[in-house]
A and B are shown apart, each in its own frame.
Chain A
Amino acid sequence: MYAFDLERPGRIADAVKLLSDSEESQPLGGGQTLIPTLKQRLAMPERLVSLTAIPEMQGVCLSDAGEVCIGGATTHATVAAEAGAYPALAALAAGIGDPAVRNRGTIGGSLANNDPSACYPAAALGSGARIITNAREIAADDYFQGMFTTALDEGEIITEVRFPVPEKAHYEKFDQPASRFALTAVFVAKYADGVRVAVTGASEEGVFRWSEAEAALSADFSAEALSGLSLSGDGMISDLHGSGAYRAHLAKVLTGRAVAAAR
């Protein structure tokens, strides 16, 4: 690790100011991705601005519009424990990493990082969530822009994420045996106006919506509705844990299982 300064502001405005002061500043959420990167000397920010001491960015609540709203620095463990109004989301949070990771890792950090095999991106895209930042609101459909790439600007921070609560939903994750991130995973959510299907861990472009499956499931919310469909392995991640074709196949299997398990 190279030396850096650490700031722990108590307000969003102070955090934003600290981040805009210097180009070499970077937000720090739970540090579950960033700290290992620093330890390996793969990044050398001069200043880390921790977001975990900002009360405005903490906690889970239910909005008047019936959305589950989660502060950007809320840990996975808190979401697992408190997002009961959206059971599939709480279950997803409960299945990330291990207790140590869940007690530190945050939803904002996960969405900002947009790891192609991460869980939260599937929930956000699969729910049509709204990503709230210090500057604006971004629809999930516009937010994810490819592996490790998002619509966030330099110094922009996720302060809150709002999830419309579906009628039924389920996250079906197939663990990569080593990291236990998603080798491939699918989030299926059934809303009054249609079904959303988000696939993570599969595409080289990061999380994506499987529109054919959405159409089929919107017409008939059953695993059988998927029978004629398939995804191509082209453009899918291929690594020592599985080929693109395998991931494409898994995406379909997992979608069917998610539909069957949706509550």
Chain B
Amino acid sequence: MPKDHGVGASSARREDVRFLTGRGKYTDDIALQGQTHAVFVRSQVANGVITSIDTTEAAAMPGVLAVFTGADFADVGGNPAGWQINSRDGEPMKEPKRPVLAHGKVRHVGDAYAAVIAETEEQARDAAEAIVAEIEEQPAVVDMGKALEDGSPLVHDEIGTNQCFDWGWIEDNRAATDAAIKAAPHVTTLELVNNRLVPNAMEPRASMADYDPGTGDYTLYTTSQNPHLTRLLISAFVLGIPENKLKVVAPDVGGGFGSKIYHYGEEALVLAAAKKIGRPVRWTASRSESFLSDAHGRDHVTKIELACEEDGTFIAFRTETMANVGAYLSNFSTATPTFLHGTLMAGNYAVPNVYVNVKAVFTNTAPVDAYRGAGRPEATYSLERVIDMAARELGIDPLEIRRRNFVQPDQFPFTSAAGLEYDTGDYGALVDTLEEMIDRDGFEARRRDSAARGKLRGLGVNTYIEACGIAPSNLVGVLGARVGLYDAATVRVNATGNIAVMVGAHSHGQGHETAFPQVVADMLGVDENSIEIVHGDTSKIPFGMGTYGSRSLAVCGSAVVRATDKIITKGKKIAAHMLEAAEADIEFTDGQFSVAGTDKSVGFGDVALKAYIPHDFPLEEVEPGLEETAFYDPANFTYPSGAYACEVEVDPETGKVTVDRFAAADDFGNVINPMIVTGQVHGGLAQGIGQALLEQTTYDSEGQLISASYMDYAMPRADDLPFYEVDHSCQTPCTHNPLGVKGCGEAGAIGSPPSVVNAVIDALHAGGHTHVTHIDMPLTPARVWSAINS
């Protein structure tokens, strides 16, 4: 029987009522008395020296209140990278300043170098057009390989190179890996591109700043996945506004996918402007601005080698990757290609040798940072493509070659050759489940049916493992993080027994407002509808590192559990007093505090009321009130895993790929709300299939983004996608967090691209096009057709 409430129930997403009826309240919906409008002037060239900016005419135009250029921010700090990465030779990474507004030089198309504040947006726009900037265009560098050549144009002259770092993982394993590959009976080599993606959240970035001259307090309403981190960056690094004078509010946020983790210059600009003019200043990105200035995702060029025995036993993986960081280091950009990628390069496999080299490269393109999956999709794609290729070369069934190499259930906890300690998993069980889902026996009949219609059918499979619940502070600290990655929650029980839970996680589509109450309701034995989740406001929540890396439930949810535990402990104290019993004798089950071995009990609601009407409290032992806070910092990452399968039909005459079937078997540990988990997988699969088949971010050699609108950038639509088969019945609970959860937000996007591409290659081979061993994503009709005809 499916549960109808509490943990394990598919409670309907309560937030959807407001989202689906147009009552969500997004940053752009907020209107403040006297508000003004900011418009940014953005570079049209990818690389240029700013020789002069004349703002005189603009400043004198109707409605204009202020004009800013990079010079106005020359003395404030840069927006920093959150992770310090060292090169193989021990040199720290190159970390050029990322200013609020470009100063002296523009480094990518869309790089903002001036801003106008005016009474109306149209007036600001008119004035922005009247700013006369002389920008001496210089040769741009877009291609990473060229950027690393001697004599390449430089993105940042002051660092003298376009290489940010040259990182090895694990450097001590390099020689052994090289030797193993040299001696191996079979080596499969694959060069591939993990295509750059534009995040395309439905809601574009937006910010509004308010400054109160009476108190000196600033408020920033902004589209953020982590308001406390934004506040910290602005306070500690960029503007120096003390944290106690800056409130950051991220109200409803219409999707982030990573792009709204980071602090952006526009946020600092509106804050500075609001102070200068003494009125609120607002800005909402146009879709074009989003394309040009949101942090993009992926963009790796990789060579991967898999060495194995003739029977398919893996001996070594060696990877060389160039990772594009764009023109500036965005906050997580240095962590994504390294510790979220290199550490996963052993996959689900008990392979003895792994070595990864990543060169991060500056180019005259928009900054690149974490995007749903962040590093782990890149790792999964490289591994699962080269494994598929090896299986084909060796004539081994693609699921079988994976099975032969899996870490076995009795090997956990297992330290992988890439250095992570996987706590639990059962990869063979996932593959068993997958095989039940995909009707493999019926495949040949379906293939014949396709052939009768002139289509080539292919089956592609892959597995994945990810490191989620992005935390523990001690581990990420060793890996170079400049922040801690715990989370926090406060549980406030009101006098009348209903509850507010203030969480550091930020929900921008994930369903926290529904899932978190399920956890608390179960623990306290109360109705989940009496519990409210409060998030996204630094003045209301204790602290929080926000939502990304599938961490909300695993890390923040665990903080909620810890805080609720404290509520129960305190409730026992109060109940002991009410029942005139010893605290040690109080038991709490199903919302009742009772004295062990007696029929004396008192309900949770009565205890809550008592906490706020403490007429006869023993005040030396118990304080009034019922509110507790916990900070939770886990012992390890969590390790969700899965096995995916995709069936495609390829039209060999046009190259068009249609995804006909898709099955995903995931192990997320315990599941709090199966419907929400299914929804998260669906969304992730759409993004993964979008990456595999549709999404193409193309800069020309001059650094112009030629896929800068939906006319050219193909987002997946409903009819591009099949009905998915999704299963999360394989559950090996996480061993180190109190909920036993692993995280499900990114899995679909991480796990799906390889099986789509593997399926297309399989289809082409079945059609006799055996010369096609690889096609780079996205597998557009034109690319597939070219591959067939190459």
Contact = CB atoms under 8 A, between A and B. Distances in A.
Interface of A: 1, 3, 40-41, 174, 177-179, 183, 239-243, 246, 249-250, 253
Nearest to B713: A178
B698 A178 contact: no
Contact of A178 (B655, B711, B781): B711
B724 interface: no
24 contacts: A3-B122, A41-B129, A174-B781, A177-B693, A177-B694, A178-B707, A178-B711, A178-B712, A178-B713, A178-B715, A179-B711, A179-B712, A240-B696, A240-B698, A240-B706, A241-B780, A241-B782, A242-B780, A243-B782, A243-B786, A246-B782, A246-B785, A249-B785, A253-B653
B205 interface: no
A44 to B, nearest CB: 11
Contacts of B781: 174, 177, 183, 242
B654 interface: yes
Given A179-B711, A179-B712, 7 more contacts: A178-B707, A179-B710, A239-B712, A240-B696, A241-B782, A250-B654, A253-B653
Contacts of A241: 712, 780, 782
B298 interface: no
A178 B714 contact: yes
B125 A41 contact: yes
Interface in B681-734: 693-694, 696, 698, 706-707, 710-715
A174 B714 contact: no
Contact of A253 (B654, B713, B786): B654
A209 to B, nearest CB: 22
Contacts of B706: 240
B653 A240 contact: no
A240 B707 contact: yes
A1 B286 CA distance: 13
Max chain A C-beta neighbours (<10 A), residue from B129, B654, B656: B654
A178 B786 CA distance: 19
Nearest to B697: A240
B712 A242 contact: no
A29 B125 CA distance: 27
Interface string B650-691: 000111100000000000000000000000000000000000
Contact of A240 (B129, B712, B715, B786): B712
Contacts of B786: 243, 246
Interface in B770-790: 780-782, 785-786
B333 to A, nearest CB: 25
Max chain A C-beta neighbours (<10 A), residue from B694, B714, B715: B714
B322 to A, nearest CB: 21
B196 to A, nearest CB: 13
Contacts of B656: 174
B654 A177 contact: no
Given A240-B696, A240-B707, A177 B785 contact: no
Contacts of A40: 288
B718 to A, nearest CB: 12
A243 B656 CA distance: 15
Interface of B: 122, 125, 129, 288, 653-656, 693-694, 696, 698, 706-707, 710-715, 780-782, 785-786
Contacts of A250: 654
Nearest to B129: A41
Nearest to A181: B711
A105 to B, nearest CB: 15
Nearest to B717: A180
A239 B706 CA distance: 10
A253 B785 CA distance: 12
A109 B653 CA distance: 33
Nearest to B707: A240
A233 B654 CA distance: 15
Max chain A C-beta neighbours (<10 A), residue from B125, B288, B781: B781
Contacts of B129: 41
A174 B780 CA distance: 12
Contacts of A183: 781
Contacts of B696: 240
A40 B711 CA distance: 14
Contacts of A249: 785
Of all A-B residue pairs in the complex, the 5 with the closest CB atoms, nearest first, are A178-B714, A242-B782, A177-B714, A179-B711, A253-B653
B775 to A, nearest CB: 14
A40 B654 CA distance: 34
A178 B710 contact: yes
Contacts of A179: 710-712
Nearest to A40: B288
Contact of B780 (A1, A3, A41, A177): A177
A213 to B, nearest CB: 16
Contacts of A1: 122
Contacts of B698: 240
Nearest to B126: A2
Nearest to B655: A246
B406 to A, nearest CB: 36
Contacts of A246: 655, 782, 785-786
A240 to B, nearest CB: 5
A239 B694 CA distance: 15
A3 to B, nearest CB: 8
A88 B693 CA distance: 30
Contacts of B780: 177, 241-242
A2 B316 CA distance: 62
A85 B505 CA distance: 59
A183 B655 CA distance: 13
B443 to A, nearest CB: 27
Nearest to B782: A242
Nearest to B653: A253
A3 B780 CA distance: 41
A246 B653 CA distance: 10
B654 A174 contact: yes
A41 B124 CA distance: 14
B652 to A, nearest CB: 10
Contacts of A177: 693-694, 714, 780-781
A178 B698 CA distance: 13
Contacts of B782: 241-243, 246
Max chain B C-beta neighbours (<10 A), residue from A41, A178, A253: A178
A225 to B, nearest CB: 17
B416 to A, nearest CB: 38
Contacts of B714: 177-178
A99 to B, nearest CB: 13
Contacts of B694: 177-178
Contacts of A239: 712
A29 B357 CA distance: 57
B689 to A, nearest CB: 12
A105 B513 CA distance: 41
B606 to A, nearest CB: 56
Contacts of B125: 41
A227 to B, nearest CB: 13
Contacts of A253: 653-654
Max chain A C-beta neighbours (<10 A), residue from B125, B656, B711, B715: B711
Contacts of B713: 178
Nearest to B706: A240
A41 B126 CA distance: 10
Contacts of B712: 178-179, 239-241
Max chain B C-beta neighbours (<10 A), residue from A177, A179, A241, A242: A177
A246 to B, nearest CB: 5
A35 to B, nearest CB: 14
Contacts of A174: 654, 656, 781
Nearest to A240: B698
A174 B654 CA distance: 9
A3 B782 CA distance: 42
Max chain A C-beta neighbours (<10 A), residue from B694, B715, B780: B780
B784 to A, nearest CB: 10
Contacts of B654: 174, 250, 253
A9 to B, nearest CB: 27
A170 to B, nearest CB: 16
